[in-house]
Chain A
Amino acid sequence: MTSVIGSRLLRREDAPILTGSARYVDDLPVAGALHAKIVRSPYAHGRIRSIDTSTAAAMPGVVAVFTGEDLAGDFAAPLPCAWPVTPDMVNPPHWPLARGEACFAGDGVAVVVATSREVARDASESVVVDYEELPAVLDIEDAAADRVLAHADLSGNRSYTWELTPDPAAVDAAFAGATHVVRERYVQQRLIPMAMEPRGVCVVPEPYGGDFTVYSSTQIPHILKIMLAVVSGVAEHQLRVVAPSVGGGFGSKLNVYAEEALCLALARRLGRVVRWNEDRSENALATTHGRGMIQDIELAADADGRIAAVRVHLLADMGAYLQLVTPGVPLLGSFLYTGVYDVPVMSFTCIGVFTNRTPTDAYRGAGRPEATFAIERAIESLARQVGVDSAEIRRRNFIPFEKFPYASAGSLVFDSGDYGPALDEAMRLAGYSDLRAEQARRRDTGSTRPLGIGFSSYVEMCGLAPSRALGSLNFGSGGWEHATIRVLPTGKVEVVTGTSPHGQGHETSWAMIVADRLGVPVEDVSVLHSDTAISHLGLDTYGSRSLAVGGSAVYAACEKVIAKARAIAAHQMEVAEEDLEFVDGEFRVRGTPASTMALQAIAFNAFLAHDLPEGVEPNLTADASYDPTNFTFPFGVHIAVVEVDEETGRVELVRYVAVDDCGQQVNPLIVEGQVHGGIVQGAAQALWEEATYDEQGQLRTSTLTDYLVPSAAEVPSLELAHTVTPSPSNAMGVKGVGEAGTIAAAPAVINAIVDALAPLGVTDIEMPASPERVWQTIRAARTGTGASAPTASSTGGAGAA
């Protein structure tokens, strides 16, 4: 039988979506629901003197209006931060509605509950809040200086200082002995994830007994259930959390949000169904942002450009509060500032500071795109100093194939990698020498549309994560994943997974894994997920973990099913277990091929339980909790080709070549889809997207007319290829791929722009490389007023076009 693994099987998820029958939270028909509308602070920082709810409360259709103080008794704990990265980390209490002080524009201060969405909205405008406006801190460096405090009662804005420096003396020695030293500063602008589905919550009180069902557009139903129990005080076993169809997450739905806790508290208090759905502009304000860092990176290298050490200092913007994993995001990148290079020693320090802006948290890649950007930009500076080509400087420094598994300077073990072939393939696909020839031709003819070629060679750590490793990072959870397989009496198979897909196609891929292992038709396998009443155990979907950890759990459960079936088959066929081989869904007696028993028949016999071996329980089912032994380390090389219009500053991304290696691929169709989307999200950081604020701390990019998510017209077709270097860490040899494109793309695009403008002496440009910023960079270079880009104020960049 040909294995279904590796085939481009079309997704079973598609039909309900394509016919409009898939239901997202806002689509759920729930009779008698009340609608909540949050009143949000218009000030970046303000003391709440008083809130007058009387006018709103008297409006027809309004059921109740509550302030933060009104609900003080409704919460057992503030909203959680599950990653106390240091013992002394400062974590100001974050209540679902602010009490006394609002700390960012968008902080919830009151809630209106009404019989319709429209009435709730109208009434929310009649809630009168008297604020004393307080000074706000909006700039990361300003925050670090403690000139203005983000929270009035904190003694400083620093949340934590975290260090990863296994051998400080060795780092100092490497810099002292270096021929070349590169020192660069990069700004990772704030981004807004902008999943196409805004968030929604609907909490249904069960008719008796005090149970609640929470429907939420979340990536993490299992984690949310635990955390809502902690925050609300509702006992965990009385909560059921369901993530119905979820319209994208990208990390922004990997959280425990105020509105989830609030709707639960309101449903409990009022004994009614309470639902809430955010507007897009509310999504931009109240859903977590990503990135937001200043990176200082130094490389020490020898005369040939071989890197001897990397030193990194980060200043990271937490925003106003610590959300679920806010402080840990920069740390996830810490291990990757040496990139794909064989660097003996490194040092990393991160200071996390509070500002009066929307909290930051995980956004596709979470720390790893930032790290990759810094090393992939800095190595270009090194190439320039040494006087070698971008490809050559990388090749000289690649971790050689023979060194895998590779003990990195950041104390990780990279599982497998073979970086040279990925570079070769990317250059071949791009037609590298032809591109350089075309670039030279344009330069020689004085073209005003120079061509630029940018490389990015990346490695990432994903598949979060070995529980022990998370423990050493003080992360408040394990990293295992759970799966259940039930071979039903009729021979069909149900798989229950702890992962929670929201676009990634787990139903299709997990069915392929099971069909392959159990030798059953893929159509005979159904995959259940995202409802804690169905999937009892799980740690959900984020950090490119679902296949490497969740898929491996499915695989492990299959192995247990096969082992149990083998015992039953041996007993019933009256042979020794060792004499049975499992091939194409049936047990065969070695040497007697005619003597077989199919898995489906064994399942039925296990259900009947008339004749089972001693000690074997009825039913052909198995559970597996799989804890990975290592992260997985996918890698690849991307090449971006841009044209810069020197007269307008407009950058056109004309080609994009990506060679990715995520180990064994289960479904290449899905892998490519993940890479496509990731690349465009990463390129969008480089070219278009930035959350900008005015001087008062108002978000200027709160709609999709101001925050420039690219359309199809802005991007080219993407040229993909792959290499396959299996991971030795799991049975299927798989690695993650959900974040790879985003991790690789931004530095490839910026390197291409800088390459295009290199003859003018341009060596850097800040993100996003908007037409205005590119045009000013060109003008500054031509008039000799400094070759690098104008520095954006860190409260906002040069507005994108």
Chain B
Amino acid sequence: MRVAMTVNGSAHDHDVEPRTLLVQYLRESCGLTGTKIGCDTSSCGACTVLLDGESVKSCTMFAAQADGASVTTIEGLAHDGELHPVQQAFHENHGLQCGFCTAGMVMAAVSFLDENPNPTERDVRLGLEGNLCRCTGYHNIVKAVLAAAGHDMGIRDKAPSGAASGGAAT
């Protein structure tokens, strides 16, 4: 069947099997391999993209369901050689190591900040719950997202009372 959509501003139209997932369409038909496949249960979030501006895990839907839609992948985020503020914040805060979760994590963060431009640390942690990372322990990812939103990491919304909050001393 033919499936057409706009990906990162460019028109795509490909003949695919009906069972083709959106993530396969992006990777195999469009050749946009920045979007990753990290699991087979929609748990890891490595395949997160924006569909008409909202984040979706592109392994949870068929390409056919995105027919006519506008999709943004990690390849479409930077403009004119300038990183998107979320990409830049991940770089400046060392929010990535091996990089396999990064595309999905960045796309999820872009969508999250769009919906919640002024989050607390807890908001960020809950907002990124659907994206797994094995390298960073999330510390610098959360820091990057808060930085992208104009926060620093001084916020602690959950320390036992009476406990001195040390903060990063290094």
Contact = CB atoms under 8 A, between A and B. Distances in A.
Interface stretch (B50-58, B62-70, B99-107): B99-107
Interface in B61-119: 73-75, 77-78, 83, 87, 90-92, 94, 96-103, 106
A504 B132 contact: no
A715 B132 CA distance: 12
Contacts of B161: 438
Nearest to A451: B160
Nearest to B169: A721
B128 interface: yes
Nearest to A249: B98
A11 B96 CA distance: 10
Contacts of B132: 196, 704, 709, 711
Given A19-B78, A430-B164, A655-B159, A196 B133 contact: yes
A711 B163 contact: no
B12 interface: no
Contact of B40 (A279, A672, A711): A279
Contacts of A716: 158
B168 interface: yes
Interface string A711-724: 11101111111100
Contacts of A678: 137
A245 B103 CA distance: 14
A677 B134 contact: yes
Contacts of B99: 13-14, 17-18, 22, 245, 247, 503
B40 A712 contact: no
Interface in A631-683: 641, 643, 654-655, 657, 668-670, 672-673, 676-681
B22 interface: no
Contacts of A657: 166
Contacts of A681: 134, 137
A677 B132 CA distance: 12
B75 A21 contact: yes
B137 A720 contact: no
A248 B74 CA distance: 20
Given A18-B83, A717-B156, A247 B98 contact: yes
Contact of A27 (B33, B101, B135): B33
A429 interface: yes
A720 B135 CA distance: 16
A503 B97 contact: yes
A505 interface: yes
B37 interface: yes
B73 A196 contact: no
A536 interface: no
B38 A20 contact: no
A363 to B, nearest CB: 12
A250 B170 contact: no
Contacts of B126: 712-713
A197 interface: yes
Contact of B100 (A247, A705, A709, A718): A247
Q: Which of A18, A29, A673, A718: most chain B Cβ within 10 A?
A: A18
A245 B34 CA distance: 12
B98 A248 contact: yes
Contacts of B129: 711-713
A696 interface: no
B78 A705 contact: no
Interface in B122-142: 124-126, 128-142
Nearest to A19: B78
Interface string A1-38: 00000000011011101111111101101000000000
B160 A503 contact: no
Contacts of A705: 41, 43
A198 interface: yes
B31 interface: yes
B3 interface: no
Given A246-B98, A280-B40, A703-B43, A18 B91 contact: yes
B147 interface: no
Contacts, number: 220
Contacts of A15: 83, 91
Interface in B24-54: 27, 31-41, 43-44, 46
B98 A198 contact: no
Contacts of A504: 97
Contacts of A760: none
B167 interface: yes
Nearest to A23: B33
Contacts of B121: 717
B5 interface: no
B162 interface: yes
Given A18-B87, A655-B163, A711 B39 contact: no
Contacts of B137: 676-681, 715, 718, 741
A673 B140 contact: yes
A763 B29 CA distance: 58
A504 to B, nearest CB: 7
A17 B102 contact: yes
Give the most central of B128, B133, B137: most A CB within 10 Å.
B137
A250 B137 CA distance: 14
B4 interface: no
A430 B75 CA distance: 42
Contacts of A245: 98-99
Contact of A195 (B17, B98, B153, B158): B98
Nearest to B100: A247
B135 A677 contact: yes
B9 to A, nearest CB: 15
A434 B163 contact: yes
B40 A431 contact: no
Given A429-B169, A717-B139, A24 B100 contact: yes
A10 B94 contact: yes
A250 B134 contact: yes
Contacts of A281: 40
A434 B164 CA distance: 7
A169 interface: no
Nearest to A703: B41
B6 to A, nearest CB: 17
A654 B166 contact: no
B142 A717 contact: yes
B169 A677 contact: no
A303 interface: no
A669 B97 contact: no
Contacts of B94: 10-11, 669-670, 672-673
Contacts of A19: 34, 74-75, 77-78, 83, 87
A441 interface: yes
Contact of A14 (B19, B46, B90): B90
B100 A654 contact: no
Nearest to B39: A280
A743 B42 CA distance: 30
A194 interface: yes
A724 to B, nearest CB: 11
A641 B98 CA distance: 29
Most chain B C-beta atoms within 10 Å of own C-beta, residue among A17, A29, A441, A721? A17
B131 to A, nearest CB: 7
B157 to A, nearest CB: 10
Nearest to B20: A118
A595 B63 CA distance: 69
A29 B31 CA distance: 8
Nearest to A504: B97
Contact of B124 (A196, A431, A680, A712): A712
B125 A713 contact: yes
22 contacts: A10-B91, A13-B99, A18-B106, A19-B34, A20-B103, A118-B17, A196-B36, A196-B46, A196-B100, A197-B38, A280-B40, A438-B161, A451-B160, A641-B160, A676-B139, A704-B39, A705-B43, A709-B134, A712-B129, A715-B138, A719-B166, A720-B170
Given A681-B134, A715-B137, 9 more contacts: A15-B83, A247-B100, A434-B162, A434-B164, A503-B97, A503-B98, A679-B137, A715-B125, A720-B169
Q: Which 3 A-B pairs have the closest CB atoms?
A: A20-B34, A431-B164, A247-B100
